Chains A and B, each alone.
Chain A
Amino acid sequence: MPAPKKNGLQTVWFQNPPVIISTATIVGNKEGQGPLGHTFDKVVEDNYYGENTWEKAERRMLKEVMQNAIQRANLQPQNIDYLLAGDLLNQIISADFVARDLGIPFIGLYGACSTMYEGLALGAMLIDGGFAEYVLVGVSSHYSTAERQYRYPTEQGTQRPLYASWTVTGAAAAVLARQGNGPVITHATIGKAIDLGQGDPMNMGAAMAPAAADTMARHLLDTQRQPDYYDLFITGDLGTYGRELALKLMQQKGYDISNRFSDCGVLIYSPDQDAHAGGSGCACAGVVTCGYLMQEIKAGRLKRILGVATGALLSLCSYQQGETIPGIAHAVVIEGR
């Protein structure tokens, strides 16, 4: 017997769609200067954010957005049933240490840059399954912490290829609730880890595009919807070239979404900001969703969107040992109410 709340192979639907009752965002200087700069709650000029290491700065950003999101929902940390959080650092230390400070029952997540949507999907399942009244979801990333873990020291003189992306410095959090006011999550499609043999850690858009296309097509099949059902398909951090690849792959699967397909990584920086292909990192999909997209939905300019956060599942060790990069993409339907 199929699970009662499952549609098709990979999609779940929510009987009482969980509500996103509050969100909070914080970004670094570069993101603040980008085209979406005005949509974020706070722009931090100093990448150390008053701390002595970048890791501590990232943690401080994550803690601050979580506290803000709780406060805006008129709640206290003890009202929250679960904290779902993750980041890019080894053993997700940003999320771990913030969880230590907040004292909320904590489920640590790792979905690389897809973690925000992994959290939204799981949070919605916990609430609609009757296991939680309130769930707090949060993610963070920081250009300098990611750069030193995955690539080179930041002051190292290197030339980045044009298809490379730029890790977004920032953090985002959202409070999901069983009832309340705000946009709702009606469906979630959990993606498969898909590897079409791309191995260049600088070209994550190419590694993730097949997963994004697979999840989007699977979602449409599972829900038996046509692309025009949604005002917008928005991926997390495919970047300029990854977005084009995903568009082509979708066409080959028989779906034309070219007039309604955007990418958070493309939106967050302008071409003159030297970010090359665009933004990446957990915070990329996080801050664009919790900032810009929420505002557009609340203002009624977007009614139904399919958010698809994408992640490149690699580590320093895996690519040094010559492994290719599996991609992952989780989709969540957000509707204005």
Chain B
Amino acid sequence: MSESADASLDQQKQLMLLMTQHQRRIFGYIHTLVPRRADAEDILQETSLVIVEKFSEFKPGTDFVAWACQIAWWRVRAARQKFARSKVVFDDDVLDSVAHTAATMHAEVSDRHEALARCLQRLHPRDRELLLTRYEPGARVEEAAERSGRSLEAAYKALARLRKLLFDCVTNQLATTTP
């Protein structure tokens, strides 16, 4: 195998490793800017393609998540041009500000992700099931309500209560572990 072929294989392996390690964080960033999950997933797919195309420009040793999120940001901007007006949640200037804030919080959001797993374990199984059913790919609150035997309105209320509970639990966990 030639030297250039070896280098290309190494680069592919490195890309795969980085994407496997950080895809969740990139998705989290996109989902923050594009709250509709299916749209966020589409943009993640488009972003991944661009990352593959441009990976030779990435400088090893620098922040991969920041680099990838910069690409994601431009995909988000491009996607907004295609969205129907009803799908756009944030005004342009607000989107800019939120993107800026989110870009500074990658590490914290990652810590919160880890803490959330512990907090989820503390929930009553019935509550955890409702919550995770709601977040299944393609699922909506109606389905979670049906499967948990709740009315739709009761499911909305329960989900709001559980998110508050988890949000506070995560915040408390980080407060107690942060020196």
To the question of whether A and B form a pair in one complex, the answer is: no
Chain B contacts to A: CB under 8 angstroms: none
Chain A contacts to B: CB under 8 angstroms: none
